[in-house]
Amino acid sequence: MATIITRFPPSPTGYLHLGGARTALFNWLYARHTGGRFVLRIEDTDQARSTQQSVDAIFEALEWLGIDWDEGPYYQSRRYDIYNQRVEKLLETGHAYYCECSTERLERMRAEALAAGGKPKYDGTCRERGLAAGPGRVVRFKAPLSGTTVLEDVIKGPIVFQNAELDDFIILRSDGHPTYNFVVVVDDVTMGINHVIRGDDHVNNTPRQILLYKALGADLPVFGHVPMVLGPDRTRLSKRHGAMSVTAYRDMGYLPAAMINFLVRLGWSCGDEEFFTRNDLIAKFSIENIGRSAGVFNPEKLLALNADHIKATPPSELVPHLAPFLAQRGLPVDDTAYIEKIIPTLAPRSKTLVEMAEAARFYFETDIAYDEKAAAKFLKPEAAEPLALLTANLKGLADFDEPSLEAAFTDVMDRSGLKLGKIAQPVRVALTGGTVSPGIFEIIAVLGPERTLARLEKALAHIRG
């Protein structure tokens, strides 16, 4: 089978939103799954609305998601020569013609058609006039007047369009700008795209595009139109339902792996599996399993997936994702080995990297600040003895591994006659400043002798006033 070539062609008129990211992901996954190629194309012919800032935001979001491209980015604004050649070809082969109908006349026709309850449609005045190029003239596509055009959609099944409903649409405006459907087809043909997976808001463009493929003598790609993403209230997903920009989720502490997992499940399934790593998805993705019904955006599900991915990601891989959140809080990020040790203690209890960074604060503090209530309750005179005993025991430890720490605590229990709980809470407050934290042995193992002993001694000094 020929190499699968897919594409993602965003219009750079804003940030990359969730729906666009899902489209990019489906195309990228299909290319990666089949060992094919993935092309990135910037559809910036709408000069008034396209911005470099938006192009950069799209790159940034794709890079964060780990969606890489094999070809491009191509920019439509730099491909006018190619479009003009294809206009010439369609003119030469009789598939297009110049039209000089005035805007006023077209407007009037349009208004009359709408008033009569019909669909506005070009009446074909210039269709057989054989006009040459000239100022103010547009080029129109000579669409078939009868018959049907069938979109064999791999997701939706066949969709039949009456050609009589499609008019002789403009492919080149009088100002020299080619139109949307035309440039998309020229690009897809010249870039060898053979699979087009996109949102079903493009279904109505497709019959015109199919006619253009045929007129250009090109093979049709496989088309698959994916249902739109809906909000929890089942209306089309919008800002009302939460952040729409992909990178907003990065900034809220989501992992790209979780985002990808979440996005892919908004339209694709594999039995009743929910958790997928990037490699799982590359191995399992298929167009056949893209669903026909709309995916519903569920922020709780995204959060739960994020927690699962935080747990499943090896600490060394999590470090670069966590580091910016630590840095934002003024915490040091240079000692990656230390951060790597911290992560497993926090991963089971963190749903986002923001939560993880917040919970990590105490590991870095040089002078632990006590939560007032916690200190009042647990750093009391009766805690002095067990804390002092523990300090002495830890000083004698060669190794801060769990069995050694356990033995040190057991010895304190034996000698003070106190239960572990009575000892652990004052120690926890001494080491973390509060009463909620990972397991006490885990914390001590991460903090190591120097930090642990300094904190225990500070707590003793606090108790002794």
Contact between 79 and ligand GLU (CB under 6 A)? no
Rg (CA), the chain: 32
Q: Which of 87, 99, 184, 440 binds ligand GLU (CB under 6 A)?
A: 184
Structure tokens at 56: 């950069």
Positions 322 through 381 that interact with ligand GLU (CB under 6 A)? none
Nearest in space to 88 (alpha carbons), one of 166, 171, 145, 168: 171
Judge whether 419 counts as a catalytic residue: no
Which residue has 């010439």 as its token pair? 88
Which residue has 């290319």 as its token pair? 31
Choices 9-17, 99-107, 128-136, 224-232; region in contact with ligand GLU by CB under 6 A: 9-17
Smallest gap from Cβ 197 to ligand GLU, in A, equals 8
Contact between 43 and ligand GLU (CB under 6 A)? yes
**C-beta of 86 vs 137, nearer to ligand GLU:** 86
Smallest gap from Cβ 334 to ligand GLU, in A, equals 41
Contact between 10 and ligand GLU (CB under 6 A)? yes
**C-beta of 39 vs 353, nearer to ligand GLU:** 39
Choices 3-11, 47-55, 116-124, 274-282; region in contact with ligand GLU by CB under 6 A: 3-11
Q: Which of 32, 198, 241, 428 binds ligand GLU (CB under 6 A)?
A: 198
3-state SS, residue 446: helix
Structure tokens at 167: 């008019």
Smallest gap from Cβ 140 to ligand GLU, in A, equals 21
Q: What is the DSSP letter of 205?
A: G
Dihedral angle of Cα 227, 232, 237, 238, to the nearest 10 degrees: 180
Total residues interacting with ligand GLU, rule: CB under 6 A: 7
Smallest gap from Cβ 28 to ligand GLU, in A, equals 14
Choices 7-15, 59-67, 233-241, 387-395; region in contact with ligand GLU by CB under 6 A: 7-15
Region of 320 (left: φ > 0; alpha: ψ -120 to 50; beta: rest) is: alpha
Q: Which of 119, 121, 214, 239 is catalytic?
A: 239
Smallest gap from Cβ 288 to ligand GLU, in A, equals 20
> How many other CB atoms sit within 10 Å of the CB of residue 278?
16
Structure tokens at 43: 């559809």
Contact between 9 and ligand GLU (CB under 6 A)? yes
> How many other CB atoms sit within 10 Å of the CB of residue 15?
19
* List of residues 6+ apart from 106 with CB closer than 8 A: 122
Structure tokens at 303: 């959060």
Choices 5-13, 212-220, 278-286, 371-379; region in contact with ligand GLU by CB under 6 A: 5-13
Contact between 190 and ligand GLU (CB under 6 A)? no
Contact between 11 and ligand GLU (CB under 6 A)? yes
Helices (H), 329-439: 336-346, 353-364, 372-378, 381-395, 402-416, 420-432
Q: Which of 202, 284, 351, 458 binds ligand GLU (CB under 6 A)?
A: 202
**C-beta of 9 vs 295, nearer to ligand GLU:** 9
Nearest in space to 161 (alpha carbons), one of 199, 113, 210, 194: 210
- Rounded CA separation 5/9 (Å): 13
Which residues are known to be catalytic? 239
Give residues in contact with ligand GLU (CB under 6 A): 9-11, 43, 184, 198, 202
